[in-house]
Structure 1
Amino acid sequence: MRDAQGHVNGVLDFSYDVSEQVQARQQLQQLNQELEARVQERTRELDVARAQAEEQRNRLLRLFGQAPAEINLFAGPEHVWTLVHPRTRELLQNRPLQGLPRRQALPELPEAQHELFDSVYRTGQPVHALETTQRFDRFHNGELHDEYFDLTLQPKFDAGGRIEGVMSFAINVTERVRSRQRAEALQADLLTAARRQAQERAAFHNVFEQTPALIALLRAPGHRFEYVNPAYQALLPGRPLLGLDMAVAVPESEEQGFVALLDRVYQTGETFFGAELPFAPEPVDGGPARTWYFNFTYQAYREDGQVAGVTIFAFDVTEQVLARQQREAERQQLHKLFMEAPAPIVILDGPDLVFQLVNPAYQRVFPGRALQGKPVLEAMPEVAGTAIYHSLRGVYDTGETFVEQELPLMLARYDDGPLEEMFFTFTYQARRNAQGEIDGVLAFAHEVTDQVQARRVVEEGGAQARALAEQLHTANEQLTRTNVDLDNFIYTASHDLKVPIANIEGLLQALTRSCPRWLWSATCPKCLGSCRRPPSASGAPSSSSPT
């Protein structure tokens, strides 16, 4: 026996008990010798011992019929069947054999098997063949059946030493051959199964080595590492794992509760499924600490019906978890932004447009109405059939954004309250899920009722304002003309006054040149003496002109 690598690892012993065949052959040989001796004796004493010889022949025939081997006698070169063994008759039922040449009696046999008899008859040399295949038409119906024989063909001599025929000594070993064939087929099947298992193990090993999943095989109550694939080793770089218990090789796994989970699986045999559980290995070479998240399975494996260890299949879902955490943080931030926004904002969910989020600014528009968690038509039945509801449905059905300025609506600020005319500036935008499908509507609204009403007041007083403006325009034109007249008057007066002043100035200059110096001490005609000049160093008045 050989293992998957071709090394001998045992011996298969197939033993078959052939004692009966050997004893029968020995007995036949003894009988043959005795027969020959008696034939010779009978030849010498033929006349005197005919009765005794006949009795001896009958005894031999009885022994011949009781022999375990099939003994058949053939005479002449055509091998005419002169003696047919009972077992041969039983094997070839409904077949005429006695007195027929062998080729005629057994035409289904190949010529090579008949030629063996020819060779023994021609040469006198016996032939021995083990487990020869004889394909007989046993039931004479055209269907061939394989039988196996240990065959001995011996020449049969007459009293003169001449070959007169052939004796066939055959032991039917069909069951032995078929048993061996079954055993060989079973062995071949076992070898094939062993090779297939080895190939499957090799295939699984290759798959485990190449898969991105983390795979480990733990054995015994201490969870000793028997196998880890590269992905598992990469989680703990530089650490020796094989041959060490989990608590020794990865002490942080015990601190974080994973060894306790393995203990429970080993003790109970029940599989454990973990979803997005965090694992924080010790940092490598003082590097930054990092937490990983895994979906994993702890599954017991058995040998001889007993739990022998635990297999680990883990999948890294760190990116998904961190992405979801980031999305959740962004969602919380967005929710906070919506809730703190001064503008009214709502999120309508699903085809029924259920109020999923209502920020305080929107709720202040309807202080006496419960909106959260209700469909739009239930929370605000007055919008049924209105343009605003059709716009919401249109956004949900088509995904096209809707914008409307100063849309008038008849709404109630309180449940069962009176309808009021309100004006809103709306933006309706479709909300989509991760697959890009529309699953809701975002509504951004701003109430502009006060602005619209104020503009209406301004528009109602517009005529009076225009009349007053016309009056003011007329007054302004009149004032403009008055100003123009005043400007002309001032220009004319200024021009008319310049000439006498210039004349007076010329007279004063002439008078100054013609008057003696002592007159400088007189009173100035302009300021009545207030601009008298002090005398110079010579006692005369200053030569500067009086101001």
Structure 2
Amino acid sequence: MSAHTPAHPAPMPASEDLLEVLFNVSMTGVILFRPVFAADGAEIVDLAYVRLNTAAQQMLQLPERPEQSFLTLYPTARPTGVFDFYCQAFQAATVKRHQFNYQHDGLDAYFYLAAQRSGEVLVVSFTDTNEQPRSAVEEALRASQVREQAALAAAEARQATLYAMFEQAPVAISLLQGPTHVIEFANARMAQLWDRSLAQVAGQAHFTALPELAGQGFEDILGAVWRTGEPHYLQEQFVSLRRAGQPYQGYFNITYQPSYDGQGQRTGVLTSAIDVTEQVLARQQVEQLNQQLEAARAEAERERNQLQALIAQAPVAIALFEGEDLHVTSVNAVISALWGHTPAQVLGRPLLEGVPELQGQGFDDLLRQVLHTQAPYTGTEIPATLRRGGQLHTTYFNFVYQPLYEVEGQVTGVLCVAVDVTEQVVARQQVQTLNEELAAINEELRASNEEYQLANVALIKSQQQLRQLTHELEARVQQRTAEAVQARLSTEHQRQRLERLLWEAPAAVAIIGGPELVFEFFNPLYAAMFAGRPQIGLSILDAMPELRGQEALRTLRQVYETGQTHQETSILVPLARPADGHLEDRYFDYVQQARFNEQGQVDGALVFAFEVTRQLLAQQQVQILNQELTVTNEELNESNTRLTRTNVDLDTFVYTASHDLKAPITNIESITLALRETLPPAVQQDKLVAHLLDLLTQTTARFQFTIGQLTDISRLQLVHAGPAEPVHLAAVVEAVRLDLTPLIAAAGAQLTVEVAPELVVSFSPANLRSAIYNLLSNAVKYRASDRPCQIRVHAARTGQRVVLTVQDNGLGMSEVQQRQLFGLFQRLHTHVEGTGVGLYITKRLVENGGGTIAVESQVDRGTTFTLTFPA
């Protein structure tokens, strides 16, 4: 090398050091971005800051490593194209350049940008023009732009505020523009009324977008408001529209208000609507209910007046009581006479104050019972001590206590209807007394017949006279009873009352008169029962000719001829169907009772009928089903017998097969061991031989494991029916504890037993021991490794059962594992040896013995088994 050869230049600094120096001393801003990708890993959705140099920090007023993302700090970068420029630069292989006038998000400058990808980051270099002087024209333009943007922002803010107010308004609002009423805006409430979103109707003419509103008069109203500028208001307007895609009709309060622009020019119509359908319908319903209530009150007042007149004129004793104190609100002269007090003395007063003689006789308790339970009460020949002529006398009554209802259905009082039957009761008592005395005399006569033979004729005459007297007395009682009945039925008002009661009776009632059996009266239930064929003045055979020759007609004629009441239950009466005249089998319960005239002769009959066709047919159907069920049960029993035999044969086969297979597999295991002992070491070290020996050993072990499972199951099938006997539960638990002592000690477990010595269960001793042994051994085996094992056994009697719980603090189980727990070959933990049939066997043993088993468990908290046994 020549002496004049220039020396080598000094070496450049290391690349990382050089880049760090350039990054810090650069007069232009430098940003390092890391792209943020979407879930699919293809689209860039944002940019994360890695680092800014000093110049970038000063120009953007940001720290060296901003925590927020690029779009969070500069959301306007997406619509202005800056974000897209960065994304394109990252995806390109070359440098990308661009310049932007960015006057958003706190920045106001022209920016010159250069960007290029470097590995997994995007390097951006930029400068701004904030430090460069601007011309007067540029400054004026920028000032104008600032004012224009401020005005636009203010207008947009006002519009946004207005739209926000419209959107939050409690009424439906829409804005229609121009003479064709183009939909520009509608808040959510209006869109809900239209059953369409704003996006579906915006920009369309009102009646084009909403054709169901056309033809209801709204076109003329909107046209008038647009032309005249006069607002229009509609109150409770009936409107047909759409709701959830279906036609809907309702009532609305609607306002049409003209809208104007900033120059005062009319631009459209602002509409608002409020759905008042519920209020209108509610008011209409209230008005209708008020009308019905007024009508009901008028009817109730009319019926009350009619009832008062009926009470006053009734030939029986009637009184009305109201309230808990049983205030007397109405009485007639008959009951006043029976009480021995005038109406003025009892009206408006509680019953026991107006009639103090009734104190302690229980009638007030019966009246309150009817008032509270709303169930009528009927008394027959009930004695009452009342004052008559200044003296207390015992009087007998037949009476009915009936609850009284207001129009609204509330019980406000009790109606009492009573009949004095003292004479009949006393007469019957006298007859009974005379009969008793006669029986005594006859007995004495028979005892002393020989002594008083001479006086026998006279005694017979006395007996005849006594019998005659008895007959006369009974005839007198019957005559007086007939006279009382005739008196009660003599008045027209009573007849009307009777007809009304029969008309409203809950049974089909008809009155048939004369030997021709002509209909004189029937209530609606009777007419409906026979399809309206009975007619007043028409004989029963003319109305229903198919009754000729039937038992019902024969017994009715018999009642008319003999005067004796006849009653039938579930009698068959074939009747013609109204549609085609064919006979249809129908069944009835009925009572046929004679009606007597004033001379005591039969002049008609009353019929009370109840149709029981449906009930009888249902009973017949139940009998048929029971017969079919009996046949089915016999078939099931036969199938169960065959299935039981099959199961026994199958269990026997499984047990025999598992037992017989043990010897061959044991022989195979012995042969394998013999091969290992007899083969030379060199042969055993051969890879193929060693592999085959291992496979043979593993296969033999799996075979033995499977046979063990089969043996366990077959043993369960053969022993499950062990006989039950009284077993002391504490003794069984103690025996199991002693057997498990080595396992419990090795695990360091604490076993607590709370079983009374006298507690006895009815169970197979062997099966009971097996179940408890399985549960306690599992509690030890499946213990948690991070805490001492604790097991608690508790038992107590509950009714006719004994409940045993085995609780531990072990590994526990999830809900899914608990559902699989008692399945066959289910092993939920593989770190402990087992066959997977233990709990299956336990469940079978417990349930076969008439008990139950259940489990509650939480993962890492422990498990509790609950068993119940017959006591």
TM-score, normalised to structure 1, is 0.40
Structure having greater relative contact order (Cα 8 Å, sep ≥ 6)? 1
Report which of the two structures shows the higher radius of gyration computed on alpha carbons.
1
